[in-house]
Protein backbone atom coordinates (compact mmCIF):
# COMPACT_ATOMS: atom_id res chain seq x y z
CA UNK A 1 0.00 0.00 0.00
CA UNK A 2 2.83 2.38 0.92
CA UNK A 3 4.59 1.60 -2.36
CA UNK A 4 1.42 2.34 -4.34
CA UNK A 5 0.94 5.63 -2.51
CA UNK A 6 4.58 6.57 -3.11
CA UNK A 7 4.23 5.77 -6.80
CA UNK A 8 1.13 7.98 -7.10
CA UNK A 9 2.85 10.86 -5.30
CA UNK A 10 5.89 10.45 -7.54
CA UNK A 11 3.71 10.64 -10.64
CA UNK A 12 1.87 13.74 -9.46
CA UNK A 13 5.08 15.48 -8.42
CA UNK A 14 6.86 14.69 -11.68
CA UNK A 15 3.92 16.12 -13.62
CA UNK A 16 3.90 19.25 -11.45
CA UNK A 17 7.63 19.82 -11.79
CA UNK A 18 7.52 19.32 -15.55
CA UNK A 19 4.71 21.88 -15.86
CA UNK A 20 6.67 24.37 -13.72
CA UNK A 21 9.83 23.84 -15.71
CA UNK A 22 8.02 24.40 -19.00
CA UNK A 23 6.31 27.50 -17.64
CA UNK A 24 9.50 29.40 -16.94
CA UNK A 25 12.21 27.75 -18.96
CA UNK A 26 11.87 30.19 -21.83
CA UNK A 27 14.83 32.43 -22.14
CA UNK A 28 15.46 35.83 -23.62
CA UNK A 29 18.92 36.28 -25.02
CA UNK A 30 20.82 39.51 -24.68
CA UNK A 31 21.41 41.36 -27.89
CA UNK A 32 22.81 44.85 -28.36
CA UNK A 33 20.28 47.41 -29.57
CA UNK A 34 20.92 47.92 -33.22
CA UNK A 35 20.87 51.29 -34.89
CA UNK A 36 20.79 52.10 -38.56
CA UNK A 37 21.60 55.41 -40.20
CA UNK A 38 19.63 57.22 -42.81
CA UNK A 39 20.72 60.36 -44.52
CA UNK A 40 18.76 63.48 -43.76
CA UNK A 41 17.15 64.85 -46.91
CA UNK A 42 18.77 68.04 -48.08
CA UNK A 43 16.62 70.59 -49.79
CA UNK A 44 17.26 71.14 -53.49
CA UNK A 45 19.17 74.29 -52.76
CA UNK A 46 22.75 73.29 -53.36
CA UNK A 47 23.07 72.28 -49.73
CA UNK A 48 25.58 69.56 -48.99
CA UNK A 49 23.73 66.46 -47.70
CA UNK A 50 24.02 66.36 -43.94
CA UNK A 51 25.13 63.51 -41.74
CA UNK A 52 22.45 60.89 -41.23
CA UNK A 53 20.23 60.55 -38.26
CA UNK A 54 20.16 57.44 -36.15
CA UNK A 55 16.99 55.44 -36.57
CA UNK A 56 15.98 53.64 -33.44
CA UNK A 57 15.28 49.98 -34.09
CA UNK A 58 12.82 47.83 -32.21
CA UNK A 59 15.54 45.48 -30.96
CA UNK A 60 15.52 45.27 -27.22
CA UNK A 61 18.55 44.60 -25.13
CA UNK A 62 17.47 41.88 -22.81
CA UNK A 63 19.17 39.67 -20.29
CA UNK A 64 19.44 35.95 -20.46
CA UNK A 65 16.61 34.34 -18.60
CA UNK A 66 17.69 31.31 -16.64
CA UNK A 67 15.87 28.04 -16.48
CA UNK A 68 14.02 27.07 -13.34
CA UNK A 69 15.87 25.33 -10.55
CA UNK A 70 16.60 21.76 -9.88
CA UNK A 71 13.64 19.66 -10.89
CA UNK A 72 13.94 16.35 -9.13
CA UNK A 73 11.82 13.25 -9.26
CA UNK A 74 9.91 12.32 -6.14
CA UNK A 75 12.14 11.31 -3.26
CA UNK A 76 9.40 9.18 -1.78
CA UNK A 77 9.49 11.44 1.28
CA UNK A 78 6.42 13.68 1.53
CA UNK A 79 8.20 16.42 3.52
CA UNK A 80 11.19 16.49 1.17
CA UNK A 81 8.95 16.59 -1.89
CA UNK A 82 6.99 19.45 -0.38
CA UNK A 83 10.19 21.40 0.35
CA UNK A 84 11.47 20.85 -3.18
CA UNK A 85 8.17 21.95 -4.73
CA UNK A 86 8.18 25.04 -2.51
CA UNK A 87 11.77 25.91 -3.51
CA UNK A 88 10.94 25.56 -7.20
CA UNK A 89 7.82 27.69 -6.84
CA UNK A 90 9.75 30.44 -5.06
CA UNK A 91 12.42 30.38 -7.74
CA UNK A 92 9.81 30.56 -10.49
CA UNK A 93 8.21 33.65 -8.93
CA UNK A 94 11.58 35.38 -8.54
CA UNK A 95 12.55 34.69 -12.15
CA UNK A 96 9.20 36.03 -13.38
CA UNK A 97 9.71 39.14 -11.25
CA UNK A 98 13.20 39.78 -12.66
CA UNK A 99 12.04 39.10 -16.23
CA UNK A 100 9.41 41.79 -15.74
CA UNK A 101 12.12 44.22 -14.60
CA UNK A 102 14.15 43.41 -17.72
CA UNK A 103 11.11 43.99 -19.93
CA UNK A 104 10.37 47.35 -18.30
CA UNK A 105 14.00 48.46 -18.61
CA UNK A 106 14.20 47.63 -22.31
CA UNK A 107 10.82 49.21 -23.05
CA UNK A 108 11.82 52.40 -21.25
CA UNK A 109 15.11 52.57 -23.15
CA UNK A 110 13.32 52.06 -26.46
CA UNK A 111 10.83 54.82 -25.60
CA UNK A 112 13.59 57.28 -24.68
CA UNK A 113 15.49 56.52 -27.88
CA UNK A 114 12.37 56.98 -29.99
CA UNK A 115 11.71 60.39 -28.40
CA UNK A 116 15.33 61.42 -28.99
CA UNK A 117 14.98 60.40 -32.63
CA UNK A 118 11.77 62.37 -33.07
CA UNK A 119 13.38 65.44 -31.53
CA UNK A 120 16.40 65.16 -33.85
CA UNK A 121 14.18 64.66 -36.89
CA UNK A 122 12.22 67.83 -36.07
CA UNK A 123 15.40 69.89 -35.75
CA UNK A 124 16.70 68.49 -39.03
CA UNK A 125 13.43 69.21 -40.80
CA UNK A 126 13.41 72.78 -39.45
CA UNK A 127 17.00 73.33 -40.57
CA UNK A 128 16.30 72.07 -44.09
CA UNK A 129 13.13 74.14 -44.25
CA UNK A 130 15.09 77.32 -43.52
CA UNK A 131 17.48 76.51 -46.35
CA UNK A 132 14.54 75.99 -48.71
CA UNK A 133 13.01 79.34 -47.76
CA UNK A 134 16.27 81.29 -47.87
CA UNK A 135 16.84 83.80 -50.64
CA UNK A 136 19.20 82.63 -53.42
CA UNK A 137 21.99 84.95 -52.26
CA UNK A 138 21.70 83.62 -48.70
CA UNK A 139 21.37 79.90 -49.46
CA UNK A 140 25.06 79.06 -49.04
CA UNK A 141 25.13 80.66 -45.60
CA UNK A 142 21.80 79.06 -44.62
CA UNK A 143 23.07 75.68 -45.83
CA UNK A 144 26.21 75.87 -43.69
CA UNK A 145 24.15 76.90 -40.69
CA UNK A 146 21.72 74.03 -41.29
CA UNK A 147 24.56 71.51 -41.47
CA UNK A 148 25.79 72.64 -38.07
CA UNK A 149 22.33 72.34 -36.52
CA UNK A 150 21.85 68.88 -38.05
CA UNK A 151 25.20 67.70 -36.70
CA UNK A 152 24.26 68.96 -33.24
CA UNK A 153 20.84 67.30 -33.42
CA UNK A 154 22.42 63.97 -34.36
CA UNK A 155 25.02 64.22 -31.60
CA UNK A 156 22.39 64.99 -28.96
CA UNK A 157 20.20 62.10 -30.11
CA UNK A 158 23.11 59.65 -30.07
CA UNK A 159 24.16 60.73 -26.60
CA UNK A 160 20.62 60.23 -25.26
CA UNK A 161 20.41 56.80 -26.88
CA UNK A 162 23.76 55.71 -25.45
CA UNK A 163 22.71 56.76 -21.95
CA UNK A 164 19.34 54.99 -22.30
CA UNK A 165 21.03 51.74 -23.34
CA UNK A 166 23.61 52.04 -20.57
CA UNK A 167 20.93 52.51 -17.91
CA UNK A 168 18.91 49.58 -19.23
CA UNK A 169 21.96 47.33 -19.32
CA UNK A 170 22.74 48.02 -15.66
CA UNK A 171 19.20 47.03 -14.66
CA UNK A 172 19.37 43.91 -16.81
CA UNK A 173 22.67 42.82 -15.27
CA UNK A 174 21.25 43.27 -11.76
CA UNK A 175 18.09 41.35 -12.67
CA UNK A 176 20.07 38.45 -14.12
CA UNK A 177 22.23 38.35 -11.00
CA UNK A 178 19.11 38.10 -8.84
CA UNK A 179 17.79 35.29 -11.04
CA UNK A 180 21.06 33.40 -10.70
CA UNK A 181 20.89 33.78 -6.92
CA UNK A 182 17.32 32.49 -6.89
CA UNK A 183 18.32 29.47 -8.94
CA UNK A 184 21.26 28.74 -6.67
CA UNK A 185 19.07 29.04 -3.59
CA UNK A 186 16.49 26.65 -5.04
CA UNK A 187 19.20 24.16 -5.95
CA UNK A 188 20.59 24.37 -2.42
CA UNK A 189 17.21 23.77 -0.80
CA UNK A 190 16.47 20.91 -3.18
CA UNK A 191 19.81 19.31 -2.42
CA UNK A 192 19.25 19.57 1.31
CA UNK A 193 15.73 18.16 1.06
CA UNK A 194 16.94 15.20 -0.98
CA UNK A 195 19.79 14.58 1.45
CA UNK A 196 17.36 14.53 4.37
CA UNK A 197 15.07 12.15 2.50
CA UNK A 198 17.96 9.80 1.74
CA UNK A 199 19.09 10.00 5.35
CA UNK A 200 15.64 9.07 6.64
CA UNK A 201 15.36 6.25 4.12
CA UNK A 202 18.67 4.82 5.25
CA UNK A 203 17.53 4.53 8.85
Q: What is the pLDDT of residues 23-44, one digit of tens each?
A: 444 333 333 343 333 333 333 3
At 63 the pLDDT is: 43
The pLDDT value recorded for residue 202 is 74
Residues linked to residue 35 through DSSP beta bridges, in sequence order: 56
Residue 188 has pLDDT above 90, yes or no: yes
Highest averaged pLDDT of the listed ranges 42-56, 165-179, 185-199: 165-179
CA dist 201 and 7 (Å) reads 16
Read off the pTM: 0.59
40 compared with 155, residue with greater pLDDT: 155
What string of DSSP letters covers 65-100? PPPPS------S-HHHHHHHHHHHHHHHHHHHHHHH
Q: Give the confidence band of 123 by pLDDT, cuts at 50, 70, 90.
A: very high
Supply the pLDDT for residue 203: 67
| Res 7: pLDDT | 45
For residues 37 and 166, which has the higher predicted lDDT (pLDDT)?
166
d(CA 179, CA 22): 17
Per-residue pLDDT, averaged over 118-122, amounts to 97
Q: Considering only CA atoms, which of 180, 26, 9, 27 is closest in space to residue 84?
A: 9
State pLDDT tens for residues 58-92.
344 444 444 444 445 577 778 888 889 999 999 99
Mean pLDDT of 1-15: 44
Amino acid sequence: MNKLLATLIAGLFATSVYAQTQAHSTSSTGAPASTATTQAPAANTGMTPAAGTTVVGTDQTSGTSGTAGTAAASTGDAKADKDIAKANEKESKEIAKQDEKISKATNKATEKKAKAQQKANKKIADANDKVTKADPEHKAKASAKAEKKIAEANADAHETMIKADEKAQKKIVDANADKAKAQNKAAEKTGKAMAEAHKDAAK
